[in-house]
Homo-oligomer: A and B are copies of this chain.
Amino acid sequence: MKYSLILLFVAFISNAQIKKENLNLMPWPQNITMQEGVFALTKNFKVNITGDPNSRIYVGTTNFLRRLDGRTGLFLTQGFVTQLNEFPEAELQINCSKKGKIDLYEDESYHLDIQPNKITINATSDIGALHALETLLQLLQNDSNSYFFPTTSITDLPRFTWRGLMIDVARHFQPVDVIKRNLDAMAAVKMNVFHWHLTDDQGWRIQIKKHPRLTALASDGSFYTQEEIKSIVKYADERGILVVPEIDVPGHASAILTAYPELGSKIIPLTNGNSEKNREAIALSTYGIERNAGIFNPTLDPTNPKTYQLLSEIFDEVCPLFPGAYFHIGGDENEGKDWDSNPRIQEFKKKNKLVTNHDLQTHFTMKLVPMLKKHGKQLMGWEEIMTKDMSKTAIIHSWKGPNEGVPVGQSVANAAKNGYKTVLSNGYYIDLMQSVNDHYLNDPIPKGSNLTADEKSRILGGEATMWTELVTPLTLDSRIWPRTAAIAERLWSNQEVVDLNSMHKRMKTVSFRLEELGITHIRNKHVILRNISNNQETRALEDFSNVCEPLKIYKRNAGGTEYQMYSPLTLFADACTADASDALDFDSAVNKYLENKNTENQKRVTDFFRKWIEMDTNLIALSANAPLVKPLLPLSKSLSDLSQQLLLVIEMKQVTNTTSIKDLLEKCNSKEHADVELAVYNSLKKLM
């Protein structure tokens, strides 16, 4: 009896055989083959580790077991994995030939083989094995009763060695737990570089023991202690992630100059006093923590030896906290205005034959190279550091593109051609709230570029950049995820993996699974909507948030002064995200309808209109007791008005006034309300 039941069970789950295209793997592996059959998961499932791995594999395997158990509720009997060869008969065997080193160019490959009774992971190092465990979690399938893995064989390795995420913790501080959960998410999509933007005009976020003024005067009390930094670096290491710190100099210096104004470049001409005094009067009192967003003048004085002494002492403390070989010194957006107006600095340039401010900045940056080299670090900087005299050992971080008047791909290609190693961030600016499609199709190797193999090899990879002018711990995750998972795929998977439909389908599941790691992008949206609703029913707000997107590409907070760094980011725009979900569905409904105007296709479209008309009514009702709903009403009304007209046209075949309907459409294109735009505008336009 027992036996026949087992047979039945096996027969049942093997019927559930799934196809390769149904797997929700992201990043997509380099090589995958599937056989018939499955590996059935039971509570006795165990893991055994052999070989010579770094101990991070124990943390990784224990976390793997807890995630698997939390997802399935199987009550797995294996608790903490703490040593080699604990269960030689275990169904999952992990073998690593050597200890992984957290560095670029490390072998991250793995081979994962799932047979009906046994799963094997073979990896050169534990880092590859960690990747394999993430793949295995993504492979988990279920039917109505049970969980299983499809019998599959995967051989995988990354296309690029630098698969980064930058988080700006200066503009809005992000506490330790926020960083840690994002490291978990990075590891889940096989990213391996966390670039930590630790200082900027709006704050100095790292404790410097020799210079407590930096955090005392320029952090508003929000900074990481060195012990916290170490704990994050350790956490990253356990997940195979390299941490690259950034101390942004010589520009973006409002915070550092708040603590050390005497190192600033600005001269204030005194109205009373002789001319000699004028020239020496440093504007001690004019520096303060910046509260706005934008590009600001405060800049370190590159002619003052004390500037280098301070930076050297800072580096002496910061470098040892980060075992990795790379150190980012920023170097961006220094417009040199305070240099231009400072006669002493002009004199220095003349004396040292530095023609432009770029030359002066290179003079400055080159002085940092040996300070970092002393600690075994290579200097990295934003692309502005690349001038003819810059050391070829520097890594160029390419960020400029069409927004800055530079053609797509030009900046990364230039760096590679000039002999520099380079990392691409242009096209991966996730703070700009663009569609994931834009980022996904942005390849680090510029399309149509005539780079040699050697030049291409200097393009290390890419990095998503999360600038936080408008982002708090409440909203950070929804700005990074799930779009960054698609960027991770671009950087890991084969260049040919570019199917947008497949990406969207897989990203949906990845997005859902990110909650397992503590990522708050879904849950916190509801928190914001509950607040806006004033504890009333949030359905109408949810519906509206699913067709609205925050204003894109610097349109929100234009000029940088509408929001201060302490302004509320608990508004409707903060609940909205790029790629509004109903907008995507509506667009596909419209496309189908335009192909074939049958009843079914028509209904899909008109159902949306009915939903939006009702939504507007509900929002109006809601607003009676919720002042934060009021700003949404004009845009909601526009959508409702147009929906009513389009219903008449489509269902009643009524000929309406074309001008008036076009006016209504254009009202739906407004960017004047609540810092959001209607993401269905283009689809609506198609219906005209």
Q: Give A residues with C-beta under 8 Å from B.
A: 59, 66, 69-75, 79-80, 142-147, 175-177, 220-221, 225, 227, 231, 291, 508-509, 512, 515-516, 520, 522-524, 526-527, 530-531, 534-535, 563-564, 566-571, 623-628, 630
Which residue of B79, B509, B515, B571 contacts A291 across the interface (Cβ within 8 Å)? B79
CB distance from A557 to the nearest CB of B (A): 12
Residue ID in chain B nearest A79 by CB atoms: B566
Q: What's the minimum C-beta distance from A152 to chain B, rounded to whole angstroms? A: 20
Of B73, B231, B512, B564, which one neighbours A530 at CB under 8 angstroms? B512
CB distance from A88 to the nearest CB of B (A): 22
Chain B residues in 8 Å Cβ range of A66: 566, 568
Measured in the bound complex, the distance between the Cα atoms of B570 and A625 in whole Å is 36
Query: How many copies of this chain does the complex contain?
Result: 2
Question: Given A142-B627, A220-B80, is A73 in contact with B527 using a C-beta cutoff of 8 Å?
Answer: no
Asked whether A628 and B144 contact (CB < 8 A) given A176-B176, A531-B515, the answer is: no
CB distance from A46 to the nearest CB of B (A): 14
A79-B291, A175-B177 known; 10 other A-B pairs, CB under 8 Å?
A72-B628, A80-B220, A80-B566, A144-B623, A144-B625, A146-B627, A225-B231, A512-B535, A523-B524, A523-B526
Of all chain B residues, which has the CB nearest A70? B570
* A238 CA / B269 CA spacing, docked (Å): 43
What would be 30 A-B contacts, judged by CB atoms less than 8 Å apart?
A: A69-B566, A70-B568, A70-B570, A72-B628, A73-B568, A73-B570, A73-B627, A73-B628, A79-B291, A79-B564, A79-B566, A80-B220, A142-B625, A142-B627, A144-B625, A144-B626, A144-B627, A144-B630, A145-B630, A147-B627, A176-B176, A225-B227, A225-B231, A508-B535, A512-B530, A515-B527, A515-B530, A515-B531, A520-B523, A523-B527
In the assembly, what is the distance between CA of A509 and CA of B516, in Å? 29
The docked-state distance in angstroms from the alpha carbon of A176 to that of B179 is 13
Contact status A534-B628, CB under 8 Å = no
Q: Which residues of B contact A508 (CB under 8 A)?
A: 535
Question: Which B residues lie within 8 Å of A74 (CB)?
Answer: 568
Taking a contact as CB atoms under 8 Å apart, the answer to whether A531 and B80 are in contact is no
In the complex the two chains form, is B535's CB within 8 Å of A142's CB? no
Q: In the assembled complex, which residues on chain B have CB atoms less than 8 Å from the CB atom of A143?
A: 625, 627
Interface pairs A-B: 9 shortest CB-CB: A177-B177, A523-B523, A70-B570, A512-B535, A69-B568, A79-B566, A227-B227, A70-B568, A144-B624
Question: Which of A59, A568, A569 neighbours the largest number of chain B CB atoms within 10 Å of its CB?
Answer: A568
Separation of A73 and B221 alpha carbons in the complex (Å): 24
> What residue of chain B has the Cβ atom nearest to residue A532's Cβ?
B73
Residues of B within 8 A of A225 (CB): 227, 231
Q: Is the CB of B534 within 8 A of A530?
A: no
Q: Within the assembled complex, what's the spacing in Å between the Cα atoms of A72 and B571? A: 9
Q: A176-B177, A220-B80 are in contact. Are A567 and B531 (CB under 8 A)?
A: no
Q: Decide: B530 and A522 in contact? CB cutoff 8 A.
A: yes
Note all chain B residues with C-beta closer than 8 A to A564: 79
Most buried by B among A143, A146, A176, A567: A567
Distance of A535 Cα from B563 Cα, bound (Å): 36
Assembly CA distance A508 to B509 (angstroms):
34
Q: Which residues of B contact A73 (CB under 8 A)?
A: 568, 570-571, 627-628
Residues of B within 8 A of A231 (CB): 225
Cα–Cα, bound, A520→B69 (Å): 22
**A473 to chain B: closest residue by CB:** B518
Complex CA distance for A491 and B630, rounded to whole angstroms: 40
Chain B residues in 8 Å Cβ range of A80: 220, 566
The residue of chain B having its C-beta at the shortest distance from the C-beta of A519 within the complex is B527
Give, as a whole number of angstroms, the nearest-CB distance from A72 to chain B: 7
CB distance from A227 to the nearest CB of B (A): 5
Q: Are B627 and A145 in contact (CB under 8 A)?
A: yes
A180 → chain B closest CB, angstroms: 9
Q: How far is the CA of A74 from the CA of B630 in the complex (A)?
A: 13
Give bound CA distance, A158 to B515, whole Å.
40
Identify the interface centre among A175, A177, A563: most chain B CB within 10 Å of its CB: A177
CB distance from A627 to the nearest CB of B (A): 6
A75, B627: Cβ atoms closer than 8 Å: no
Give Cα distance in the complex from A144 to B629, angstroms. 9
Whether B623 contacts A568 by the Cβ 8 Å rule is no
Inter-chain CA distance A66–B526, complex, in Å, is 20
Instruction: Say how far A300's CB is from chain B's closest CB, in angstroms.
Output: 25
List chain B residues, Cβ under 8 A from A227: 225, 227
Is the CB–CB distance between B175 and A70 below 8 Å? no
| Residues of B contacting A628 in the complex (Cβ-Cβ under 8 angstroms) | 72-73
Question: Does A75 contact B568, Cβ atoms closer than 8 Å?
Answer: yes
Closest to A75 in B: B567
* A531 engages B144 (CB within 8 Å): no
A426 CA to B624 CA, complexed, in Å: 45
Measured CB to CB, the closest approach of chain B to A80, in angstroms, equals 6
The one of B71, B176, B291 that contacts A531, using a Cβ cutoff of 8 Å: B71
Q: Which residues of B contact A625 (CB under 8 A)?
A: 142-144
Contacting pair A627 B72 (CB below 8 A): yes
* Contact (A142, B566) CB under 8 Å given A80-B220, A175-B177: no
The complex places the Cα of A564 from the Cα of B80 at a distance, in Å, of 12
A9: min CB distance to chain B, Å: 13
Q: What B residues does A520 contact at CB under 8 A?
A: 523
Identity of the chain B residue whose Cβ is nearest the Cβ of A508 in the assembled complex: B535
- Expressed in whole angstroms, the Cα–Cα distance for A220 and B59 within the complex equals 10
B516 touches A531 (CB 8 A): yes
Complex contacts, A627 vs chain B, CB 8 Å = 72-73, 142-147
How close is A146's CB to chain B, nearest CB, in angstroms?
Answer: 6
Residues of B with C-beta under 8 A to A570: 70-71, 73
- B contact residues around A571 at 8 Å (CB): 73
